[in-house]
Structure 1
């Protein structure tokens, strides 16, 4: 059986390194994209099995990427784990926890020092 491929999308290289490294240790192949446009290009060029998608990014944010993927019948079934540093009590911006939950993402995980294991578990559960 071939390795499942996870596309990790974040504008912070350190986050990609940490999350990607942990996913590799868990047995996944990892691809990286550093903004929303690059993520969409990579998904269309080589479909990943799952996407870990940051919310706040330049050019195209995670909400826009998620919405675009979920509208495409050929890509809408790819599981998406939204990842954000936005606290759940923030409601005055478009990057609120509520907005993430209302998206068609399959999971929504706040970034934090302990979130890496939660991300890996979410990816495992979604691909099981």
Structure 2
């Protein structure tokens, strides 16, 4: 069974692009346009990994991350931040990689494979 990645980003083009990249690499994907929808999708789909934009309406990445870590069934899901915003938010632990936009496909896929395998 393919591993599942939840892509949370308010830019539909980024979601579409990352879905294509991850699905071509053999992963299943699901997308969410903000942190509220992202938390709902995480609860329903129990992804193996989450990619997270930080600057979004209706609950940005920081609040999503805090809520995710408070949910016992979701707290251990690995997160990769893919964002165009500045420095690492203090709420993110050191084991949360932060990649900047524009997305480096090769680097992103390498990191995903390191974190969850094929």
| Common fold: TM-score over 0.5 | yes
Unmatched tracts of structure 1, length 5 or more: 87-95
* Other-structure match for 1:106: 96
The alignment's TM-score, normalised by the length of structure 1, stands at 0.83
Query: In the aligned structure 1, how far is the partner of 2:69 from the partner of 2:106?
Result: 26
Runs (4 or more) in structure 1 with deviation over 2 Å come to: none
Which one has the largest radius of gyration?
1
Q: Is 1:64–2:63 an aligned residue pair? A: yes
Q: How many residues are paired up?
A: 116
* Other-structure match for 1:93: none
* Other-structure match for 1:122: 111
In angstroms, what is the RMSD of aligned CA positions?
1.5
Query: In the aligned structure 2, how far is the partner of 1:46 from the partner of 1:98?
Result: 27
Unmatched tracts of structure 2, length 5 or more: none
Query: In the aligned structure 2, how far is the partner of 1:42 from the partner of 1:116?
Result: 24
| CA deviation after TM superposition for structure 1 residue 119, in Å | 1.8
The alignment's TM-score, normalised by the length of structure 2, stands at 0.90
